[in-house]
A and B are shown apart, each in its own frame.
Chain A
């Protein structure tokens, strides 16, 4: 039997597809009936029910049609399905929907079905096997990794030039600072998750330790930012050692849950130890950084002190401090990046990667698991702490609210979605996860919803992350490009 026919699978079975669609639609009805259809609202301080049954019915119908379309497209009827999906999309524009969310869902669903049908038409087969798909994405990842040798410096140069570009106003710079903070955190966590393969769900604890260290040291002892920055890193790294030591014997999922527990413990302590941390009110009035201790960023400096604009003979604008903060975080982030890139070539970095691939084999080779795990934990914690003290000085105000589990999940998502261990992946994922929602501020309420759904979808589609491509660290012929090697490996398979 020739392979194309085999790939095409059995001829379309209309009844099975209908049954399948009806099942999916029925499940969708059951899922949405209580929570979407019957909404609890408070009327005169008593709960009452508001009915939204139309939304439930439309959801059920949409899921039914979508599921039916997908099975028929995969079952050998891509042409008609494509036409129907496009018609449905057109109808979606025009027909009245109970809510705009449902309209968006309908349009997106029609687009997905249409894309699937188009794909089937174009390739003459119903579906890509997981292996095919992985190979394609691996090739893309490899190509990007090749390109990142040029792309990385180019992006860094862009980032350096950004404050002097004409469109760089306060909002752009603030967004840039936010993005860079998350990129730095992502790169820091990447050491633990991407290199050593330990799933840390409590990274935000170290971020918090860094932020509170700076705030408390600066307010209690009057230490300057430049003294506090390494101190905060040191304290966070000590916290990493203390927390890391007991949990290092644990593996995989257990490790993840315990780190989550530690993250929560730190948050609860910050929340309740009101004498020191200010409890839920947090700490306000955290000192701003000076220009390397030489000059301050103020319009009118205190007597005996110099202001930044006086030092350089510029006119005063509040933007100076923002630009300075921007360069500060850019430098810190690039430092982390440089560290990671270099340490991968050292024995410690190699040991981490060995640990990630197979920890039992790694022990068998005589590597001390405990020491290298501890090192990964402490180093990542240090970078987290430094990022935390930057956060504190930028905000001028911190409270336990900024260090909840969801923050850990965001940072983890940046690492995982980008492709574990990929430095470029972190940047791209940070742009997606932090940048996109900032641009679509109006849809803020949907932000976490789409974020959760996106996390699931990307895992289903690419369990190792979007740009996961694991490059061997040692090569016989190091000159060969990664994409060539990938292609050869694919042929050899």
Chain B
């Protein structure tokens, strides 16, 4: 039971990170119906910018942890947003309305490019970052010394995710931008006839998705303490699985899917085998797509000629 509780805490933390990345997939898929294969790389770039920002702030003498964390978050969101915007502008916008596999292939090319760009400029070696927050709160202690604990960092990750989710849901539901996004999702041509700048709306969707992926990158850097240029690939596929599991196109679905994937991964590693945890995630992706292609919270998609 205690072991279970500890895995639950770990799984929820992991799930929060996946959920944030999954939002980027789900929003882009919802609005233009393509899988942004390079999204995982944006997350990886976010992790690198987080390491770089922590080091740079350390050099500037900003070592008060709350301030440093907030600044790193803001800087990372800013830079990954620029990356998201550029990727959309260069690789996807010219292909809008083109042959249906073209954007996906272009996205795969972009993903390979970004991965190798980071490897080239930052080196292929693993980047370690000393722990920034290491305080642990012990919740339970068993007789044999096994402790159920939650770290401050885990609490921060959860709190930040919840805040971002609430802010985001409100943004989509209440603001003119969110309205424009939902309009484009339903019918792009009609939306543009009604005076919505479709290109701008799509760009902003990428910018928001990339900023959230950047936040996830900061979190994973602080949580694991080591990153390399290759982390984006697997995390990207897992987050995509999360988006599909929750129902692609649905924001709460992405969060729920992320949570479930995080839990499955944590429990699978704990009770079955660490080696095959990725197989478990891919297996779930396949099962969901076969038995419930619309996901848990998704709407059925109509086949159109």
- A residues sitting closer than 8 Å to B (CB atoms) are 27, 30-31, 33-36, 38-42, 46-49, 199, 201, 246-247, 249-254, 256-258, 260-262, 264-265, 268-269, 271-272, 358, 360-361, 405-406, 409, 412-413, 416, 445-446, 448-449, 451-456, 459-460, 463-464
Instruction: Name the CB-closest residue of A to B55.
Output: A49
B61 at the A interface (CB under 8 A): no
**Cβ of A48 and Cβ of B55 under 8 Å apart?**
yes
**Cβ of A449 and Cβ of B117 under 8 Å apart?**
yes
Known: A47-B129, A258-B289, A358-B305. A30 touches B275 (CB 8 A): no
Instruction: Name the CB-closest residue of B to A263.
Output: B282
Residues in A whose Cβ lies below 8 Å from that of B155: none
**Cβ of B56 and Cβ of A455 under 8 Å apart?**
no
Q: Which of B7-15, B94-102, B137-145 contacts A (4 or more CB under 8 A)?
A: B94-102
**Cβ of B127 and Cβ of A265 under 8 Å apart?**
no
**Cβ of B112 and Cβ of A406 under 8 Å apart?**
yes
**Cβ of B104 and Cβ of A256 under 8 Å apart?**
yes
Residues in A whose Cβ lies below 8 Å from that of B122: 35, 39-40
Known: A31-B83, A35-B117. A456 touches B278 (CB 8 A): no
Cα distance, A459 to B114, chains bound together (Å): 17
CB of B125, distance to nearest CB on chain A (Å): 7
**Cβ of A47 and Cβ of B105 under 8 Å apart?**
no
Cα distance, A459 to B108, chains bound together (Å): 11
**Cβ of B279 and Cβ of A268 under 8 Å apart?**
yes
Residues in B whose Cβ lies below 8 Å from that of A448: 112, 115-116
Partner of A459, one of B106, B113, B121, B303: B106
Cα distance, A290 to B102, chains bound together (Å): 44
**Cβ of A47 and Cβ of B104 under 8 Å apart?**
no
Residues in B whose Cβ lies below 8 Å from that of A42: 125
Known: A31-B83, A272-B275, A455-B108. A449 touches B120 (CB 8 A): yes
**Cβ of A38 and Cβ of B116 under 8 Å apart?**
no
**Cβ of B116 and Cβ of A254 under 8 Å apart?**
no
Known: A49-B52, A253-B104, A451-B112. A31 touches B279 (CB 8 A): no
B111 at the A interface (CB under 8 A): yes
B59 at the A interface (CB under 8 A): yes
Question: For chain B residues 31-78, which have a beta carbon within 8 Å of chain A?
Answer: 33-35, 45, 48-49, 51-53, 55-56, 59, 75, 78
CB of B35, distance to nearest CB on chain A (Å): 5
**Cβ of A199 and Cβ of B112 under 8 Å apart?**
no
**Cβ of A47 and Cβ of B86 under 8 Å apart?**
no
The interface centre, meaning the residue of B83, B94, B113, B233 with most chain A CB atoms within 10 A of its CB, is: B113
Closest 5 CB pairs of A and B: A455-B109, A452-B113, A452-B112, A463-B102, A261-B282
Known: A49-B59, A253-B34. A261 touches B112 (CB 8 A): no
Question: For chain B residues 77-92, which have a beta carbon within 8 Å of chain A?
Answer: 78-79, 82-83, 85-86, 90-91
Instruction: Name the CB-closest residue of A to B282.
Output: A261
Known: A261-B282, A456-B90, A459-B106. A35 touches B49 (CB 8 A): yes
**Cβ of B116 and Cβ of A452 under 8 Å apart?**
yes
**Cβ of B101 and Cβ of A199 under 8 Å apart?**
yes
Cα distance, A256 to B82, chains bound together (Å): 28
CB of A334, distance to nearest CB on chain B (Å): 27
**Cβ of B82 and Cβ of A30 under 8 Å apart?**
yes
Residues in B whose Cβ lies below 8 Å from that of A456: 90-91, 106, 109-110, 113
Known: A253-B34, A256-B35, A460-B94. A453 touches B48 (CB 8 A): no
Cα distance, A251 to B289, chains bound together (Å): 10
Partner of A39, one of B45, B115, B121, B275: B121
**Cβ of B109 and Cβ of A453 under 8 Å apart?**
yes
**Cβ of B237 and Cβ of A416 under 8 Å apart?**
no
Residues in A whose Cβ lies below 8 Å from that of B115: 448, 452
Partner of B98, one of A199, A445, A453, A463: A463
Known: A247-B286, A268-B278. A416 touches B105 (CB 8 A): yes
CB of A405, distance to nearest CB on chain B (Å): 7
B283 at the A interface (CB under 8 A): yes
Cα distance, A255 to B64, chains bound together (Å): 48
Known: A47-B51, A449-B117. A258 touches B286 (CB 8 A): yes
Instruction: Name the CB-closest residue of A to B285.
Output: A261
7 contacts between A and B (CB under 8 A): A35-B118, A253-B33, A361-B305, A412-B108, A448-B116, A452-B116, A455-B113
**Cβ of B109 and Cβ of A27 under 8 Å apart?**
no
Residues in B whose Cβ lies below 8 Å from that of A48: 55
Residues in B whose Cβ lies below 8 Å from that of A252: 100-101
Residues in B whose Cβ lies below 8 Å from that of A46: 130
Known: A30-B79, A268-B279, A360-B303. A261 touches B125 (CB 8 A): no
Residues in B whose Cβ lies below 8 Å from that of A47: 51, 55, 127-129
Residues in A whose Cβ lies below 8 Å from that of B233: 405
Residues in A whose Cβ lies below 8 Å from that of B125: 42
